[in-house]
Amino acid sequence: MRSVTADDERDGDEPTGLADLTAFQRDILRLLDREDHRKGTAIRSGLEAYYGADVNHGRLYPNLDQLVEKGLVEKSERNRRTNDYALTDAARDALARHDAWIDGGAE
């Protein structure tokens, strides 16, 4: 088995797998996987329904911004006040690889 070293880290603009994400960030990706192109308030509502607790602005939007920076979520403007969030192809691929790994089909 190969060990992971600092040399294995990717450029900040290059999408990585899901292993370096928090569970909260993976949950955001799962929400967008079920219903792509959501506004931030819809993502927050979905997370609150799952967690059974309030998700505040200061937690949600920095995590969305990190996912955008990692190339896993695309952020665009719906209108002057509302952003739209959607999965990138890299995120779909990463989710598929993660699911295959969970199912025991890939190592």
Residues 54-104 pLDDT 10s: 999 999 999 999 999 999 999 998 888 889 999 999 999 999 998 988 888
Tens of pLDDT, residue by residue over 11-58, are 444 445 788 999 999 999 999 999 889 999 999 999 999 999 999 999
Q: What number of other Cβ atoms are within 10 A of residue 101's Cβ?
A: 14
Q: Per-residue confidence at 5, pLDDT binned at 50, 70, 90?
A: very low
Q: Does 3.30.365.10 match the CATH number of domain 20-102?
A: no
pLDDT of residue 16: 56
**Which among 66, 105, 106 is positioned nearest to 85, based on CA atoms?**
66
Token representation of residue 52: 């059974």
The count of other CB atoms within 10 Å of the CB of residue 22 is 10
Question: How many residues comprise the chain?
Answer: 107
